[in-house]
Chain A
Amino acid sequence: MQLIEFTDKGLFCRAGNFYIDPWKPVDYAIITHAHSDHAKWGSKNYLCHTLTKPLLQARLGDNVYETVEWNESKTINGVKVSLHPAGHIIGSSQIRVEYNNEVWVASGDYKVADDGLSGAFEPVKCNAFITESTFGLPIYNWKDQELIFENMRNWILANKALNKASIIIAYSLGKAQRILKALEDFDETIYMHGATYNMHMALINANIPLPKINAERVTPETPKEKLKECIVIAPPGAEGSSWQKKFSPYAVGVCSGWMQVRGNVRRKNVDGAFALSDHADWNGLLQAIKATEAEKVYVTHGYQSVFSRYLNEQGIWSAEVKTEYGEEDEEKVTDEVI
Chain B
Amino acid sequence: MKEFAELVTFLGASTKTLEKQEALVNYFSLADDRDKVWVIALFSGRRPRRLVNSSLLPQWCIEIRNIPGWLFSECYGSVGDTAETIALLLPEATEQNAQSSLSFYIEKLISLEKENEFIKRDFITACWRSMNKDERFVFNKLLTGNFRIGISQKQMVNALAKTIKLEPSVIAHRISGNWDPATTSFNELLSENTGIVDYSKPYPFYLAYALEENPETLGEANEWQAEWKWDGIRGEIIKRNNQLFVWSRGEELMTEKFPEYAMFQQKLPEGVALDGEIISLTNANALTNKFTILPFALLQTRIGRKNITAKQLKESPVGFIAYDLLEFEGEDFRNKTLDERRTVLEKIIAEVNEPVLRLSPIIPFTNWDELAATRATSREINAEGIMLKRKTSIYQVGRKVGDWWKWKIDPLTIDAVMIYAQKGSGRRSTLYTDYTFAVKDEDRLVPFTKAYSGLTDKEFAQVDNFVKRNALEKFGPVRTVKPELVFEIAFEGIAASNRHKSGVALRFPRIKRWRKDKKADEINTLDDLKKMLEVYGK
Tell me if A263 and B14 are in contact (CB < 8 A): no
List, in ascending order, chain A residues with CB within 8 A of B427's CB: 262-264, 266-267
Contact (Cβ within 8 A) B15 A261: no
Q: Which one of B67-75, B98-106, B265-273 is at the A interface?
A: B67-75
Q: Given A310-B68, A310-B71, check contact A138 B13 (CB 8 Å).
A: no
Complex contact A138–B75 (CB within 8 A) = yes
In the complex, whether A273 has a CB less than 8 A from a CB of chain B is: yes
- Please measure, in the bound complex, the distance between the C-alpha atom of A81 and the C-alpha atom of B71, giving whole angstroms: 36
Q: Nearest CB to that of A309 among chain B residues?
A: B70
**A127-151 Cβ-contact flags toward B at 8 Å (1 or 0):** 0000000000111110000000000
Known contacts A138-B65, A303-B74; is-contact A263 B88 (Cβ 8 Å): no
A12 to chain B, nearest CB (A): 21
- Which residues does A use to contact B, with CB under 8 Å? 137-141, 258, 260-267, 269-271, 273, 303, 306, 309-310, 313, 327, 331
Write out the residue numbers on chain A whose beta carbons fall within 8 Å of the beta carbon of B402: none
Question: What's the nearest-Cβ distance from chain B to residue A113, in Å?
Answer: 15
B75 pairs with A266, CB closer than 8 A: no
Contact A263 B81 (CB under 8 A): yes
Given contacts A263-B428, A309-B70, 7 further A-B contacts (CB under 8 A): A137-B78, A139-B79, A261-B79, A266-B150, A303-B74, A306-B74, A310-B68
Q: Is the CB of B84 within 8 A of A261?
A: yes
B13 and A139: CB pair below 8 A? Answer: no
Contacts of A141 in B (CB 8 A): 88
Q: Whole-angstrom distance from the CB of B42 to the nearest CB of chain A?
A: 17
Shortest CB–CB separation between residue B395 and chain A, in angstroms? Answer: 34
Contact of B13 among A266, A306, A313, A327 (CB under 8 A): A266
Shortest distance between the CB of B226 and any CB in chain A (Å):
38
Residue pair A273, B13 in contact (C-beta under 8 Å): yes
Name the contact of B426 in the complex, choosing from A258, A266, A273, A310 (C-beta under 8 A): A266
Cβ-based interface call for B124 (8 A):
no
Check A267/B67 contact, CB under 8 A, given A137-B78, A261-B78, A261-B84.
no
Q: Is the CB of A139 within 8 A of B428?
A: no
Q: Which residues of A contact B465 (CB under 8 A)?
A: 327
**Are B80 and A263 in contact, CB atoms less than 8 angstroms apart?**
yes
B259 to chain A, nearest CB (A): 42
| B79, A306: Cβ atoms closer than 8 Å | no
Alpha-carbon separation in the docked complex, A267 to B12 (Å): 11
Cβ-neighbour of A138 out of B15, B71, B428 (below 8 A): B71
Q: How far is the CB of A279 from the nearest CB of chain B, in Å? A: 14
Q: Is B394's CB within 8 Å of the partner chain A?
A: no
B88 contacts A139, C-beta separation under 8 Å? yes
Cβ of B180 to closest chain A Cβ, rounded Å:
30
Of the candidates B13, B74, B430, the one whose C-beta lies within 8 Å of that of A261 is: B430
Does the CB pair A137–B430 fall under 8 Å? no
User: With an 8 A cutoff between CB atoms, is B431 at the interface?
Assistant: yes
Main secondary structure of the interface of B (DSSP, over half): helix
Q: Mark B487-520, 1 if CB is under 8 A from A, else 0.
A: 0000000000000000000000000000000000
Cβ 8 A contact of A139, one of B70, B85, B137, B457: B85
10 contacts across the A-B interface (CB closer than 8 A) = A137-B74, A138-B89, A141-B88, A261-B84, A262-B81, A263-B428, A263-B429, A264-B429, A267-B457, A303-B78
| A303 CA / B70 CA spacing, docked (Å) | 14
The answer to whether B430 and A313 touch across the interface, beta carbons within 8 angstroms, is: no
State in angstroms the CA–CA spacing of A267 and B457 once bound together. 8
Asked if residues B431 and A267 are in contact (CB atoms below 8 Å), the reply is yes
What CA separation (Å) do A270 and B15 show in the bound complex? 7
Taken together as a complex, chains A and B put the C-alpha atoms of A263 and B82 apart, in Å, by: 12
A315 CA / B455 CA spacing, docked (Å): 44
Residue of chain B at shortest CB distance from A261: B79
Cα distance A265–B67 when bound, in Å? 26
Min C-beta distance of B61 to chain A, whole Å: 10
A137 nearest in chain B by CB position: B75
Q: Specify the chain A residue showing the minimal Cβ separation from B86.
A: A139
Distance in angstroms from B37 CB to nearest chain A CB is 26
Kindly list the 3 A-B residue pairs having the minimum CB-CB distance in the complex, ordered from nearest.
A266-B427, A263-B429, A139-B88
Q: Are B12 and A139 in contact (CB under 8 A)?
A: no
Q: Check if B12 sits within 8 Å of A262, measured CB to CB.
A: yes
Which A residues lie within 8 Å of B67 (CB)? 138
Asked if A139 contacts B15 (CB within 8 A), the reply is no
Residues of B within 8 A of A327 (CB): 465
Which residues of the partner chain A approach B150 to less than 8 Å between Cβ atoms?
266
Docked CA distance A310–B65 (Å): 14
Quick one: given A139-B89, A303-B74, A313-B68, are A263 and B15 in contact (CB under 8 Å)? Answer: no
Given A139-B89, A270-B15: A264 touches B75 (CB 8 Å cut-off): no
Closest A-chain residue to B80, C-beta based?
A: A263
Q: Tell me which residues across on chain A come within 8 A of B74, comparing CB atoms.
A: 137, 303, 306
Q: Does A267 contact B428, Cβ atoms closer than 8 Å?
A: yes
Residue among A263, A270, A310 with max Cβ neighbours from chain B (10 Å):
A263
Q: Are A265 and B13 in contact (CB under 8 A)?
A: yes
Residues of chain A within 8 A of B429, CB atoms compared: 261, 263-264
- Known A-B contacts A138-B67, A310-B68; the reply to A271 vs B13 at CB < 8 A is yes
Residues of B within 8 A of A140 (CB): 88
CB distance from A331 to the nearest CB of B (A): 8
CB distance from A139 to the nearest CB of B (A): 4
A263 to B75 alpha-carbon distance, docked (Å): 13
A262 / chain B contacts, CB cutoff of 8 Å? 12-13, 79, 81, 84, 137, 427
Tell me whether A306 and B426 are in contact in the complex, defined as CB-CB below 8 angstroms, given that A139-B89, A262-B12, A263-B79 are known contacts. Answer: no
The CA-CA distance from A271 to B85 in the complex, in Å, is 22
